[in-house]
Structure 1
Amino acid sequence: MAAPLGTLDRTPPPFFRQGPSALTKLTFCSALALFLMVADTRFKITQPVRTMVATILHPIERVLRVPVDAFNAVGDYAMGLQQALSNEAAARSALARQAERAARVEQLQRENEHLRALLDLRAALTVRSQPSEILYEAPDPFSRKVIIDRGSAQGIALASPVINEAGVLGQVTRVYPLSSEVTLLTDKDAAIPVLNTRTFSRSAAFGIATGSGLELRFLASNADVKVGDLLHTSGVDGVYPPGIAVATVTSVERKVDTGFAKVLLQPSAMPDGVRHVLVLEPIALQLPPRPDADASPPGLPTPAQASKGAPK
C-alpha cells in the first residue's frame, strides 16, 4: 500500500545540499590569504612552520634527487671519457710524428756530416705523412695484414710505408677508396732493404712463415753481423725513407756446410696492440720525373733525326 504524500521526506540528499555560496567562499579565502601574508610579513608567524616543514622534507628531497644526480654523473662521465679519448688520440698522433723525426735525425746527421760536405749533396727530401688508425686485422689466418682508415680519397698511394713511434710496421699493398690494406713486416711475403748501423752493410730482411719475426737471407756465413746489431731502412728501394728503425739481431747461426748464415731478427715495432700509425708517401713519388729518353742536348740531333739522316 502506498504511503500518503504528506509523510514523504522532501529534503534533498546530502549530495545536493547547498552550503555557502561560491562568492562567499572566494571572499573568505581571499581575506584569509591576505591576512596570512600580512601577518607573516609583519610578525613572522609562519617562519617556524616553514622551518619545520623544510626540515621534515629535506631527507625526502635528498632521496628524490638520487636518480637525478646519478643521471647527471653518468652524463659527465661519458663526456669526460670522450674528451679523454680524443686527447689520447691527438697525443699519440703527435708522439708518432716526433718519434719518426727523432728516428731519422741521428742517422741523417752522420751521413750529412760526411757526405754532403764532400759531395755537396742536395738536401734530403721532405717526407710527407698523415696519421691513420688501424681498424682491424685482415681475416686471412695465413697472413699478417691490417686495415687502416685511410684510402685513395685521402691521398694514400700504393706501397706507402707505415710506421709508428717504434719503427717500421709494414707497407700499403692494397688501396680502397676509404681504407687500405697494410702488409706487416712479419708477413711471410714481406721484404724490406735494411742497413746495419754498426757496419753500414746493406742486406734484405724477410718475414718468417710463422709470422713471429724477420730473418736476413742470402747472408754469407762469414758476414760481419752480431747479436744486438740495429737495422734501419737503407732508402735504396725508393719506398722507405732512410734511417727508420726496422729490427734488432737476436740470433746468428753460421752454417759452414751451406755457406750462409741464419740470422733472426726482432722487429722494432711490434704490431700487436698498435692503434695509431703514420702513413708516409713513398720517396719515388717525390723524386723529379725522369728526362725523356728521346730528348737530346741542345745542338745535337734527336735519335729520330739521326736515324733519318744516317746513310742507307
Structure 2
Amino acid sequence: MPLGTLDRAPPPFFKQGPSALSKLMVCSALALFLMVADARFRITQPLRAAIAAVLYPAQWLAMRPVVALRSAGSYFADLGQAQASEATARRQLVEQAQRAVQVEQLTLENARLRDLLALRERSPVAGMAAEVLYDAADPYTRKVIIDKGLAQGVAAGSPVIDANGVLGQVTRVHPLVSEVTLVTDREQAIPVLNTRTGARGIAYGEPAPHGAGGLELRYMAANADVQSGDLLTTSGVDGVYPPGLPVARVDRVERRPDSAFARIACHPQASVEGARHVMVLQPLGAQQMPPRPAAPEDATPAQKRGARR
C-alpha cells in the first residue's frame, strides 16, 4: 500500500472540537434568539401550522378510542336516566289515575249521601247512616250485612233505605253488624200505596235466579186500576215503615180471565244490587202512631172496654 494513501488524521475518538460548555452556550443563545424572534415577529407560526396540519390525521385517529369510550359512557348514562325518568313518570301516572278514581268515587258517594240525606229529611223518624259490608252467604235469600249493630242502637225490624227508596228491613242484629233482608227476598212483604190512585196493597219479594229480582203486587183484583209506570210507596199502616218512601214501580200488569186477581210485576226503586251507603230508620212503633181516641163518658161499659182495646 503506498504511503500517500494512508489517512494521517487522528481517529474520531481523539478528535478535538468545541468544548461542551461552548456548545451549551451557543445552543442556549440560539434558543433565546429564536424565542425572542418568534415572540416579536412570529417567524415560526407558518411552520407550526404546517406541522399541525400534517399531524392532525394522526391526532384524530389517536383520539377515536377515547371519544368512543366517552360516547358509550354518556349513552349508557343517558339510557339509565331515561329509564329512571320513565319509571318515575309511570308511577306518577298510576298514582294520578288512582287519585282520579278515588275523586270520582268520592264525588259519587257524596252525591249519593246528599240524596240519601235529602230523602231522610222527608222521613218523619230518626235514623243513622250505615255501610253495606257484603252479601249474605245464603244463595237462596236476598240479604246484606251492614256495619251497624246493637252497639250503635240498631233494632230488629228497622227499615233500611238508600238514596232511591226502601232497600229492606233489619231481620237480625249482632253486636257490631246487622243483617238486612232486601225487598226482593221471598219472605219480605211491604204494605204499599199507589200514588196515582191511592189504592193500598201488599208487595212481596220475587227473587230471580240470575239478577236482582223484583216485587209482585198480590191480591189485586183483575179490574183494579193499576198501570205500568205507577209508583208504589210505603203506606205506613204496618207501624214499621214510615209513609211516603218509594218502594217500587209497576213494570207490567197481566189480567187473565181464569183468575180473579191480576199478576202485577214491579221493579224496586232502591239499588238492591249495588247499594253501599244506606240509612237505618227507627220503626214507627205503636208509640209513634196516633193515640186511640178515648171513649165518651156516657158510653156503656162494653163500649169503654172496646175503646180500651
TM-score by length of 2: 0.60
Aligned to 1:255: 256
Aligned to 1:94: 114
- Structure 1 unmatched runs, 5+: 1-55, 105-124, 298-312
Which residue identity lines up with residue 259 of structure 1 in the other structure? A
Q: Which of 131, 134, 146 pairs up with 1:133?
A: 131
| Partner SS state of residue 97, structure 1 | helix
**Residues 64, 257 of structure 1: CA spacing in aligned structure 2 closer, same or farther, 3 A cutoff?**
closer
Q: Which of 197, 201, 207 pairs up with 2:205?
A: 207
Aligned to 1:219: 220
Map 1:9-28 → 2, pairs under 5 A: none
Aligned to 1:66: 85
> Aligned pair count?
217
d(CA) in 2 for partners of 1:127, 1:217: 28
Aligned to 1:246: 247
**Residues 62, 214 of structure 1: CA spacing in aligned structure 2 closer, same or farther, 3 A cutoff?**
same
d(CA) in 2 for partners of 1:146, 1:261: 31
Alpha-carbon offset, residue 256 of structure 1:
3.5
* Conservation of the 8 A alpha-carbon contact between 2:124 and 2:242: no
Map 1:106-185 → 2, pairs under 5 A: 126-185=124-183
* Conservation of the 8 A alpha-carbon contact between 1:185 and 1:206: yes
TM-score by length of 1: 0.59
Which residue identity lines up with residue 112 of structure 2 in the other structure? R
* Conservation of the 8 A alpha-carbon contact between 1:100 and 1:244: no
- Cα deviations across residues 214-234 of structure 1 (Å, max 9, x unaligned)? 111122222221222111110
Q: Which has the larger radius of gyration?
A: 2
| Partner SS state of residue 262, structure 2 | strand
d(CA) in 1 for partners of 2:80, 2:222: 83
Alpha-carbon offset, residue 77 of structure 1:
4.1
Alpha-carbon offset, residue 64 of structure 1:
8.7
| Partner SS state of residue 260, structure 1 | coil
d(CA) in 1 for partners of 2:196, 2:101: 45
Alpha-carbon offset, residue 196 of structure 1:
0.6
Map 1:189-204 → 2, pairs under 5 A: 189-204=187-202
| Partner SS state of residue 236, structure 1 | coil
Alpha-carbon offset, residue 92 of structure 1:
2.7
Aligned to 1:268: 269
* Conservation of the 8 A alpha-carbon contact between 1:134 and 1:149: yes
Alpha-carbon offset, residue 129 of structure 1:
1.6
- Cα deviations across residues 20-55 of structure 1 (Å, max 9, x unaligned)? xxxxxxxxxxxxxxxxxxxxxxxxxxxxxxxxxxxx
d(CA) in 2 for partners of 1:62, 1:126: 65
Which residue identity lines up with residue 217 of structure 1 in the other structure? R
What is the aligned-residue RMSD (CA, Å)? Answer: 3.4
d(CA) in 2 for partners of 1:71, 1:252: 56
Which residue identity lines up with residue 148 of structure 1 in the other structure? I
- Cα deviations across residues 190-249 of structure 1 (Å, max 9, x unaligned)? 100000111111110001253621111122222221222111110111111111111111
Q: Which moved more, 1:276-285 or 1:80-89?
A: 80-89
d(CA) in 1 for partners of 2:257, 2:140: 32
Q: Does 1:279 align with 2:280?
A: yes
Alpha-carbon offset, residue 140 of structure 1:
0.8
Map 1:33-72 → 2, pairs under 5 A: 62-63=81-82, 66=85, 69=88
Alpha-carbon offset, residue 254 of structure 1:
2.0
* Conservation of the 8 A alpha-carbon contact between 2:239 and 2:289: no
